[in-house]
Structure 1
Amino acid sequence: MNKNNLLSQLTITTSSAESIIQPNWGAKYGITLAVKRDDLLHPVISGNKWRKLKHALTPAIAAKTQHIISFGGGFSNHLHALGYCCHQLNIQFTAIIRGDYSHNPSPMLQDLICWKTNILYVDRKTYQQRGEPDYLKRLLQLYPDALIIPEGGSQQQALQGVEEIIQELQVQYDYILAPVASGGTLAGLIKGATQNVKHHSCQILGIGVLKGEGYLEQLVRDLLVEDDNNKNWQINHNYHFGGYAKSNHELKEFCDDFYQQTEIKIEPVYSGKLFFALRDLINNGYFPQNSRILALHTGGLQGAR
């Protein structure tokens, strides 16, 4: 497939609608609850993964990049989306994976193997160096001329794609909620709302999906740089369920019930924690009466496979 044709095909699908949902919670508080269905952008490269990758891949294609490197866990939606893109674009892809899944590859990793990805399993100590200049320099010595995309695709180029979510909104909201792991999506929403007069008063609430109080906030601030003038954002750390990709029976049952009520598929790593938190916050009176709330479905169902 021609590279430009692929990008054109995906670009056509990068606008998603806001859908009002009516689960059996929230109505008695007069709350209007909508979901931005970014999970429907593309069958493989859904949600914030494509939002964060599109402005990184476009210049990479123009520069005739032959090799891309990135990082993630064994159920990474980011690596799955990027691996698919690289396979379709005929770009060599190296995925550096936290932990050794070589004897029991996850469905996501099985897809990467089918897409001819070069997979490197590393221990947690090595993986922790993924953002350190010396480690990145060593990677580039091993793979000259490769393009390194950070974990989760979270970098300055990612914010541009996420900002487009705000530009697409049809109505004004009091709150926008999104899951937070690498910070790029929340930073893009904050920046987009800050620069859009129609939405600058909207509160941006992130739901941390891993143990990272302080750490996640710093990731967001680092991406915003000088643009962190909007104080209308925060991250709630009460719904990580023990850490990244951690869950329990209650959360998994909630994901199933939510699908039965709304016909919207969610999973326990990202979107499930977001909507669980939303229900709990509504039922505990966190949001004022008659609030208009938008939940961003960031797509990616690797955690449910």
Structure 2
Amino acid sequence: MHHEALDLSRLQPALPSPLQPAEDERFARHGVTLLLKRDDLIHPHLPGNKWRKLAPNLGAAAGRTVLTFGGAYSNHLRATASAGRLLGFPTVGVVRGDELARRPLNPSLAQCAADGMRLHFVDRATYRAKASPEVLDGLLSVFGDCAVVPEGGSNALAAQGCTALGGELPGTVATVAVACGTGGTLAGLAAGLGPEQRALGIPVLRGGFLGEAVRDLQREAFGGPSGRWSLGERFHFGGYARTPPELHAFADDFEERHGLPVERIYVAKLLYALTVLAGEGAFPRGSAVAAVVTGRPWPPDGDRGPSLYAPSDSR
């Protein structure tokens, strides 16, 4: 079957995203300049790494149905559903947790459905096996010819798409830091940076599996290791979507200092980590550190308290 290529330029992404200085004495007293790479401003519905990872995957899908995976509050599912609505292709979201099918849709999944996404709920054991041929074959037998995009959008195409992020950061920025869920953004960012720069990933999940995931993605996307990167694994606050009062207090204070709406699941942990690391002298005096702001708070005008996200939710 012939499929028409998608014209992704119709989404009018704002690229390159702005790089803004953030005057902050917690960095300045250690001789460090903090910069904010405002990837959250790329597109209102596909901000940050969602645009950078999804765009090459949507181009490859060429208008076919896109089937992808996520938890109950997945940013990736919402972005995929929005892209489907805006560009006119069908989307299927495979959602972890068959018990969710028996409840009213939460606001995130309701937004996906409003954007035309077909939601398919699976039990957690099936979801864990989502990359297996048995589960994939079963899904494709139900939904037909689909372009399958992994959870979080992280695959070789996504990593290749994220190299442009590294290319947008001037060589005067020594360290570029990003919060990590599935590793695709870090894999591509590191590959796109110059030889004197390094990427720092801040995992928001417990588990210690991310280093291997990044190495695998780089091997698949670039044929082997690419660029300099490391992980700061002390800042997950107990696991995915765990946002204790200490983190909310930090994020509220950062918003007040810098007028930046701080997304709690990823960006708050990134900014907290950089503040702690600067205090520990982890960055050389006279150097600049850029924090990649990958997304905005969601819902935009709603409750962002810890009750919104269950600890088992996924990216």
Whether TM-score is above 0.5 comes out as yes
1:17 deviates by 1.5
Look up the match of 2:205. 210
The 1-side partners of 2:25 and 2:136 are apart by 49
Query: What amino acid is the match of 2:210?
Result: L
Asked if 1:32 is matched to 2:28, the reply is no
Contact 1:76 1:302 in 2 (8 A): no
Equivalence for 1:251:
247
- Using the TM superposition, give the Cα deviation of residue 34 of structure 1 relative to its aligned residue in structure 2, in angstroms: 0.6
Cα pair 1:191 1:227 within 8 Å, conserved? no
- Is contact 2:70-2:96 (8 Å) kept? yes
Which residue identity is paired with 2:44? P
Specify the SS of the correspondent of 1:188: helix
Instruction: Tell me, yes or no, if the aligned pair for 1:77 and 1:301 is still in contact at 8 Å.
Output: no
TM-score, with length taken from structure 2: 0.87
- What is the match of residue 166 of structure 2? 166
Q: Secondary structure at the match of 2:205?
A: coil
Structure 2 residue 215 is the aligned partner of structure 1 residue 221: yes
Which residue pairs with 1:262 in the alignment?
A: 258
Shift of 1:160: 2.2
Cα displacement (A) at 1:279: 0.7
Distance 1:228 1:59, change over 3 A: closer
The alignment's C-alpha RMSD in Å is: 2.0
- C-alpha separation in 1, matches of 2:7 and 2:227: 38
**CA deviation after TM superposition for structure 1 residue 170, in Å:** 3.4
Cα distance in 1 between the residues matched to 2:50 and 2:25: 30
Q: Residues 205 and 236 of structure 1 are in contact (CA less than 8 Å); yes or no, is this contact kept in structure 2? A: yes
Distance 2:135 2:123 in 1: 14
User: Out of 65, 85, 88, which is 1:87 matched to?
Assistant: 85
What per-residue deviation string (whole Å, max 9, x for no partner) do you get for residues 160-188 of structure 1?
22111122223422111001111100000
8 Å CA contact 1:180–1:207 kept in 2: the answer is yes
* Number of matched pairs: 294
Q: CA 1:152 to 1:265, structure 2 compared with 1: closer, same or farther past 3 Å?
A: same
CA distance in 1, matches of 2:24, 2:96: 36
Structure 1 residues 272 and 106 mapped into 2: Cα distance closer, same or farther (>3 Å)?
farther
User: 1:260-299 maps to which residues of 2 (within 5 A)?
Assistant: 260-299=256-295
Structure 1 gap segments, 5+ residues each = 194-198
Give me the identity figure in percent.
35
Deviates more, 1:11-20 or 1:97-106: 97-106
**Which whole-Å CA distance do the structure 2 matches of 1:78 and 1:204 have between them?**
22
Instruction: Provide closer, same or farther for how the CA distance between residues 136 and 259 of structure 1 changes in structure 2, counting only shifts above 3 A.
Output: same
Determine the C-alpha separation between the residues in 1 that align with 2:296 and 2:204.
Answer: 14
User: 1:68 corresponds to which residue?
Assistant: 66
Q: TM-score, normalised by structure 1?
A: 0.90
- Determine whether 1:101 maps to 2:100: yes
